[in-house]
């Protein structure tokens, strides 16, 4: 059946809106509330020795005072740790930093290896199907997480570099648990939808942003981005009571594999035939909220185990690396996540192949 001129025009408008939304609005991996939730869950699980080691490192970061000024938590160490979790997204709007390929490099300030925003560290999203259309992507999440872990766990590494790497690690552990930061679908034209950034949806369960991209829909599932302090604490209390700690820790490769599996099975809504914009159903929304809640909780538990392994049991004067790396074995609870719901590194490494800084 040939589309009517009016229907064709509407489809073209929607397509352009999707492109503009993906290009003009940075879609973050979990919003600020999601990252704070992950960080606070991790902090609660940490022992005092690990907290002290992490706090000492964060105090050496150039933006430590900014983190203290951003919240009202009376515990300064906890406040800085939680606020540092959003730093890798916050610098997207910070004029001190620049995006390779879009901006002129800015002067390197004390305490930073350089001022690159490293937008491509937040994701790794090869298409879920049709391998014949795959093009090597710019996403570095799967490569940067192991490098950050190695830096933070190396007591011989430069202290300033370890302090710089810590907020990145806190942030990227959470990113790895967002399904649409690990996978994409191909459009009919064989192009990647950039982790759902190019797919417009209508969400009747949101009064704040009923029309948005699928990627942003998933980012916002943990809660509105302005949640802080007591509001975050009450959310975390509820999540911890609902989701016990997975019995076996896992590593970055497993986190990403889990997220990719969830993306393939549950992250995309059923599209109505001929509809230019998919409408989120109640069933899809309830399932997605359940998955997102579990993923941010798992991310918090796993971040805590990782940080304890890296810095928790060695004196600060030790030159030895951290005692161990987390196992990559996945817990049964994690493996069944979707089904149950249905029922740094060198500056050069972050500047290799890249996509638009606003895609994620």
pLDDT of residue 28: 56
C-alpha–C-alpha distance, residues 109 and 266, integer Å: 43
Give percent of the chain above pLDDT 70. Answer: 75
pLDDT of residue 137: 64
Q: Is the pLDDT of residue 298 over 90?
A: yes
C-alpha–C-alpha distance, residues 138 and 136, integer Å: 7
pLDDT in tens, 234-244: 999 999 999 99
pLDDT of residue 187: 83
Query: Given pLDDT bands bounded at 50, 70 and 90, which one contains residue 208?
Result: confident
C-alpha–C-alpha distance, residues 80 and 187, integer Å: 41
pLDDT of residue 25: 39
pLDDT of residue 246: 81
Query: Given pLDDT bands bounded at 50, 70 and 90, which one contains residue 331?
Result: very low
The residues that bridge with 202 in the sheet, in sequence order, are: 211, 279
pLDDT of residue 170: 98
All domains of the chain, ordered by start, with CATH? 27-351 (1.10.575.10)
pLDDT in tens, 111-166: 999 999 999 999 998 888 755 445 556 799 999 999 999 999 999 999 999 999 99
Burial-class residue 234 by CB neighbours within 10 Å (0-12, 13-18, 19+).
Answer: exposed
> Between 319 and 304, whose confidence is greater?
304
| Residues 6 or more apart whose Cβ sits within 8 Å of residue 188 | none
Give percent of the chain above pLDDT 90. Answer: 67
Q: If you average pLDDT over residues 192-208, what whole number do you get? A: 93
SS3 readout for 23-89: HHCCCCCCCHHHHHHHHHHHHHHCCHHHHHHHHHHHCCCCCHHHHHHHCCCCCHHHHHHHHHCCHHH
Handedness of CA 197, 202, 204, 206 (dihedral sign): positive
pLDDT in tens, 265-284: 999 998 765 567 999 999 99
pTM (two decimals): 0.81
What does the DSSP assignment read for 211-232? EEEHHHHHHTTT--TT--HHHH
Q: Is the pLDDT of residue 305 over 70?
A: yes
pLDDT of residue 247: 75
> Between 288 and 24, whose confidence is greater?
288
pLDDT in tens, 27-67: 556 999 999 999 999 999 999 999 999 999 999 999 999 99
pLDDT of residue 357: 42
**Out of 51-60, 79-88, 322-331, least confident range:** 322-331
Q: If you average pLDDT over residues 200-214, what whole number do you get? A: 93
Report the chain's mean pLDDT, rounded to a whole number: 82
Query: Given pLDDT bands bounded at 50, 70 and 90, which one contains residue 183?
Result: very high
CA distance readout (Å), 214 to 118, 266, 278, 288: 23, 12, 9, 11
- Inter-residue contact 32 to 226 (CB < 8 Å): yes
Q: Is the pLDDT of residue 315 over 60?
A: no
Element (H, E) at 279: strand 278-279
């Amino acid at each position: 059946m040939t589309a009517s001129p009016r229907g064709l025009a509407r489809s073209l408008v929607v397509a352009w809106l999707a492109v503009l939304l993906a290009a003009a609005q940075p879609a973050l991996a979990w919003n600020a509330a999601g990252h704070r939730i992950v960080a606070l869950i991790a902090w609660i699980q940490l022992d005092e020795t690990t907290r002290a080691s992490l706090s000492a490192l964060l105090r050496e970061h150039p933006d430590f005072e900014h983190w203290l000024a951003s919240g009202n938590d009376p515990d300064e160490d906890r406040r800085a740790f939680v606020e540092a979790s959003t730093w890798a997204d916050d610098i997207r709007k910070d004029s001190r930093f620049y995006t390779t390929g879009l901006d002129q490099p800015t002067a390197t300030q004390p305490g930073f290896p350089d001022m690159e925003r490293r937008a491509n560290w937040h994701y790794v999203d090869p298409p879920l199907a049709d391998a014949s259309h795959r093009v090597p992507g710019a996403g570095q999440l799967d490569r940067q997480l192991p490098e950050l872990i190695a830096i933070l766990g190396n007591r011989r590494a430069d202290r300033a570099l370890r302090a710089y790497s810590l907020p990145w690690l806190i942030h990227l552990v959470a990113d790895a648990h967002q399904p649409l930061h690990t996978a994409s679908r191909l459009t009919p034209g064989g192009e990647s939808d950039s982790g759902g950034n190019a797919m417009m949806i209508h969400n009747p369960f949101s009064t704040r942003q009923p029309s948005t991209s699928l990627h942003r829909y998933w980012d916002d599932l943990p809660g509105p981005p302005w949640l802080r302090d007591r509001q975050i604490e009450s959310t975390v209390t509820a999540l911890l009571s609902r989701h016990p700690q997975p019995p076996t820790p896992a590593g970055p490769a497993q986190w990403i594999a889990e997220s990719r599996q969830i993306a393939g099975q549950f992250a995309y809504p059923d599209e109505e035939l001929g509809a230019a914009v998919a409408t989120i159903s109640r069933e899809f929304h309830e399932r997605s909220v359940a998955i997102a809640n579990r993923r941010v909780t798992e991310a918090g538990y796993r971040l805590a185990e990782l940080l304890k392994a890296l810095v928790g049991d060695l004196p600060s004067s030790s030159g030895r690396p951290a005692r161990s790396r987390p196992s990559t074995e996945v817990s049964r609870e994690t493996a069944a996540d979707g089904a149950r719901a249905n029922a740094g590194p060198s500056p050069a490494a972050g500047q290799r192949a890249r996509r638009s800084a606003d895609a994620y």
